[in-house]
């Protein structure tokens, strides 16, 4: 398994996509953090003031998990590229037990997710600490529940990476997987979570579960407890990865 994971890292690093998506994640984090701090005094905002623990947790959580969709896309591309470029044949010849290939990809992209999340946490910290200090807002990285938030952010990004791998194994078609993933995250989920009457159900969707896990507080939406959010997201992840692995084993590689 160690060799398979090393091989997956080889594949990932052989092209530059990981770097562009990492830079993209960090840029989104920087943009979000800057806007959030710049307009934090706006009374109409859905987030709590940055002087509160909930407000700070939300800032760090949202900034850390900015990497989630991009990591999911990277992971989905990583596995569907095998089918698109037909390297699946070579890969499954080297490792006829396809479940092991998918396991190696899950571990690899899980680790990549951790790396992305850490990079985004570094960005939000680098921007928020001096800026909030200049605004005379008291911020301690060790306090206000921020360690839990950061751990939740890392877990969330990692789980999205695993969902990306599972979805790619399930669908195989690269464009369909990536477009489907993005449409779901940015269109379907956005519509559903904006209907308050559906709130009791939509809190179990991946995005709101992600928000719950990382400890985001919004004034216009209710989330599950962090542990419940983590459990819900993990359940999605396991179901999709299991279905993807099952089908990868059954399907003919033609």
Partner 1 sequence: MTDQDGRIVVSGLAKTFGTVKAVDGLTFTVEPGSITGFLGPNGAGKTTTLRMLLGLVRPDAGTATIGGRAYTDLPAPSDRVGAVLEATAFHPARTGRAHLRIYSTINGYPGTRADEVLELVGLSGAGRRAVRGYSLGMRQRLALATALLGDPKVLVLDEPANGLDPEGIAWMRRLLRDLAAQGRAVLVSSHVLSEVQQLVDHVVIINRGRCVRQGPLTALADLHGPVVSVRTPDPDRLQTALIRIGVDEDRITRTGDQLRVTGIQADDVGQLAFAEQIPVLWLAAEQSDLEQVFFALTTDNGQQPALTATTGA
Q: In the structure, how many helices (H) and strands (E) does the chain have?
A: 12, 0
CB of 104 to partner 1, least distance (A): 9
Nearer of residues 74 and 117 to partner 1, judged by Cβ: 74
Q: Among residues 93, 134, 197, 200, which is the contact residue for partner 1, using CB under 8 A?
A: 93
Q: Among residues 20, 41, 89, 191, which is the contact residue for partner 1, using CB under 8 A?
A: 89
CB 217 within 8 A of CB 54: yes
> Per rule CB under 8 A, is residue 1 in the interface with partner 1?
no
d(CA 175, CA 34): 32
> Per rule CB under 8 A, is residue 94 in the interface with partner 1?
yes
Q: Among residues 35, 86, 126, 219, which is the contact residue for partner 1, using CB under 8 A?
A: 86
> Per rule CB under 8 A, is residue 85 in the interface with partner 1?
yes
CB of 125 to partner 1, least distance (A): 34
| Contact region with partner 1 (CB under 8 A), list: 11-19, 123-131, 151-159, 181-189 | 11-19
> Per rule CB under 8 A, is residue 200 in the interface with partner 1?
no
What is the per-residue binding string for partner 1 in 49-78, x denoting contact by CB under 8 A? ------------------------------
Q: Give 221's DSSP letter.
A: B
> Per rule CB under 8 A, is residue 99 in the interface with partner 1?
no
d(CA 207, CA 219): 16
> Per rule CB under 8 A, is residue 19 in the interface with partner 1?
no
CB of 157 to partner 1, least distance (A): 25
d(CA 24, CA 17): 10
CB 77 within 8 A of CB 85: no
d(CA 210, CA 203): 10
For residue 20, what are its two tokens?
A: 């562009």
| Contact region with partner 1 (CB under 8 A), list: 7-15, 150-158, 173-181, 192-200 | 7-15
Cross-strand pairs, 218? 47, 221
Which SS3 state, helix, strand or coil, does residue 205 take?
Answer: coil
CB of 15 to partner 1, least distance (A): 4
Nearer of residues 91 and 214 to partner 1, judged by Cβ: 91
* Beta carbons within 8 Å of 125's beta carbon, 6+ residues apart: 141
Other Cβ atoms less than 10 A from the Cβ of 230: the count is 20
> Per rule CB under 8 A, is residue 246 in the interface with partner 1?
no
CB 161 within 8 A of CB 233: no
Q: CA neighbours within 13 Å on the CB side: how many for 102?
A: 26
Residues that bind partner 1 (CB under 8 A): 3-4, 6-7, 10-11, 14-15, 81, 85-87, 89-97, 250, 252-254
């Amino acid at each position: 398994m160690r060799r398979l994971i090393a091989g997956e890292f080889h594949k990932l690093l052989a092209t530059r996509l990981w770097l562009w998506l990492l830079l993209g994640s960090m840029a989104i984090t920087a943009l979000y953090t800057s806007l959030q701090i710049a307009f934090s005094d706006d009374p109409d905002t859905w987030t709590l003031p940055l002087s509160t623990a909930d407000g700070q947790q939300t800032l760090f959580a949202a900034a850390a998990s900015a990497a989630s969709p991009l990591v999911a896309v990277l992971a989905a591309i990583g596995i569907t590229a095998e089918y698109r470029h037909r390297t699946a044949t070579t890969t499954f010849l080297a490792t006829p037990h396809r479940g092991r290939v998918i396991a190696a990809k899950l571990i690899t992209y899980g680790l990549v997710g951790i790396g992305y999340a850490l990079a985004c946490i570094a960005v939000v910290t680098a921007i928020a600490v001096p800026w909030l200090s200049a605004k005379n807002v008291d911020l301690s990285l060790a306090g206000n529940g921020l360690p839990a938030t950061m751990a939740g952010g890392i877990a969330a990004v990692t789980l999205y990476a695993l969902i990306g791998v599972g979805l790619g194994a399930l669908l195989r078609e690269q464009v369909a997987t990536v477009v489907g993933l993005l449409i779901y995250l940015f269109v379907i989920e956005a519509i559903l979570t904006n209907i308050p009457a559906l709130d009791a159900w939509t809190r179990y969707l991946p995005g709101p579960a992600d928000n719950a896990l990382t400890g985001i507080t919004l004034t216009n939406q209710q989330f599950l407890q962090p542990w419940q959010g983590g459990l819900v997201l993990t359940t999605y992840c396991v179901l999709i990865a299991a279905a993807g692995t099952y089908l990868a084993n059954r399907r003919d590689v033609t």
